[in-house]
Amino acid sequence: MSRSAFCSSGSNLVPKTTEALNPLNRPKKHHYLNGRQRTNLYQKNHRASKVLAYYGLRSPPYKLDALEPYMSQRTLEMHWGEHHGGYVDALNKQLAKNDLLYGCTLEELIKVTYNNGNPLPEFNNAAQVWNHDFFWESMQPGGGSSPILGLLQQIEKDFGSFTNFREKFIDAALKLFGSGWVWLVLKREEKHLAIVKTSNAVNPLVWNDIPILNLDMWEHAYYLDYKNDKAKYANVFMNHLVSWNAAMARMARAQAFVNLGEPKIPVA
Amino acid sequence: MALRTLVTRKALGNSVAFRQQLRGLQTHTLPDLPYDYGALEPAISGEIMQLHHQKHHQTYVTNFNKALEQLDDAINKGDSPTVVKLQSAIKFNGGGHINHSIFWKNLAPVREGGGEPPKGSLGWAIDNHFGSLEALVQKMNADGAGLQGSGWVWLGLDKELKRLVVETTANQDPLVTKGSSLVPLLGIDVWEHAYYLQYKNVRPDYLKNIWKVINWKYASDIYEKECP
């Protein structure tokens, strides 16, 4: 069994979430903070399958009912438990059959399986796992309002004003055709923030850009709570859910990779 | 039904549709369902049918008309960039209108023949090409379940080769985008809005159950017209 031929961290034997391979672990259950309701059907399949878990299902950084009334617990249970969990399981099943891809971090896996626009079958699952991890962390209970400090300055520089950015973001969400995501990204080459729409599972990592925020516009993300009212969902996201704390942390980290301007060197 | 459209036309007044008609532009309207919203239960719930028809399809119609009006403006002004920019909106909303109009005719309540297997030349062609109706259903279900994101799964007729095909299209792309000689006989909407409230994320269950209300009569009629 050769080490991964594609990933630079091919020598890294340990998969991303070590809990999954811990031999002392409870039998094949994911490590999560709050009891995830599993359907009986799922448990039956789980006992029967002998899949080694390469990636685990990471829990959102809040309880499943913490985003009420803006995103219901029922939606979180379905969206995280069934959809996100389903992508993790499907990815693990695929990786069990194809160990050339073993040993990558999730981000590397996404870039490799994107295959420059001709995606391999693992891409959809890998990218959706990453997108959903990013999405849960892009929201928080008591979210909304606006960013401060450096991120706010950068937004005002690149969009004119926060209000203008907010309008453009929601507009992008409404104009997206089909399933997909809306992103606030820091473009590495152009060195500025931008709003990007992607279809299905695609994310800005494949273009080597740095995502700061995302919004899931697949219908399953909002249908139970808002039916077809995308505008209400997008507005609620901006007003009550979006985590500018997470965005600012990501922006700070991004600036280690992208030089956004002259540093403020104090004059002696 | 005709009376209702008359009344709504009058009430529209200065609206898009009225202006379009003045300019000789064809306006599109939401077609009525040939059955009640609840008539397809328990295969498809009345709630889904109502939302799907009154909200989703209506939105496609409205936005299609709007895009066509903008296109007409741009053409008259010779504004080529706008003409090209509008193509995706026309493809999406126009496709949505076309596809859903076919979809409503593809469904029928059980008491009006929904779910009854096709007889005549279409039935024979299905057995000939796919082996059996069950094989066709399995293929379409597999393709529909495997479709990533949003789209449609179709049973189509290649009218030049006189052959049946099973195809999938993404988003609201009509079947012709997969081949200009393809005629749609049956389309199944696998966008999440078509089943989520009832089947949640279990798309395969939706696909299994929808066959109980598929209107094979319509598909046979189209087939016999193209292949007499």
The pLDDT tens digits of the residues spanning B129-167 come to 999 999 999 999 999 999 999 999 999 999 999 999 999
Among all residues of chain A, which has the CA nearest to that of B95? A177
- Residue A216 marked as a ligand binder: yes
Q: What integer pLDDT is reported at residue A51 of this predicted model?
A: 60
Domain architecture of chain B: domains with CATH: 44-227 (3.55.40.20)
Nearest to A130 by CA among A151, A107, A148: A107
The 8 Å CB, 24+ separation contacts for A115-124 are A121/A94, A122/A91, A122/A94, A122/A95, A122/A98, A123/A201, A124/A87, A124/A200, A124/A201, A124/B148
For residues B116 and A8, the model is more confident at B116
A-B C-beta contacts closer than 8 Å: 51
Residue B55 with chain A: CB contacts under 8 Å: 227-228
Q: What integer pLDDT is reported at residue A268 of this predicted model?
A: 76
Residue A124 with chain B: CB contacts under 8 Å: 148
Residue A178 with chain B: CB contacts under 8 Å: 92, 149-151, 170-172
Alpha helices in chain B (DSSP H): 2-12, 16-22, 46-50, 58-77, 80-85, 87-106, 120-130, 133-146, 196-199, 203-210, 216-226
The pLDDT tens digits of the residues spanning B25-51 come to 789 999 999 999 999 999 999 999 999
pTM for the model stands at 0.84
Among all residues of chain A, which has the CA nearest to that of B90? A177
- The shortest CB-CB distance from B193 to any of A124, A177, A219 is to A219
- The shortest CB-CB distance from B201 to any of A177, A220, A227 is to A220
The 8 Å CB, 24+ separation contacts for A17-24 are A17/A55, A17/A56, A17/A58, A19/A56, A20/A53, A20/A54, A20/A55, A20/A56, A21/A52, A21/A53
pLDDT value at B102 more than 60: yes
Q: What integer pLDDT is reported at residue B21 of this predicted model?
A: 61
Q: What integer pLDDT is reported at residue A104 of this predicted model?
A: 82
Residue of A87, A175, A227, A229 to mutate, interface with B, max B Cβ within 10 Å:
A227
Q: Do B149 and A224 touch (CB under 8 A)?
A: no
pLDDT 10s per residue in chain A (268 long)? 344 456 654 433 334 443 444 444 334 444 443 444 444 444 444 554 566 678 999 999 999 999 999 999 999 999 999 999 999 999 999 998 877 787 789 999 999 999 998 999 999 999 999 999 999 999 999 999 999 988 999 999 999 999 999 999 999 999 999 999 999 999 999 999 999 999 999 999 999 999 999 999 999 999 999 999 999 999 999 999 999 999 999 999 999 999 887 666 778 7
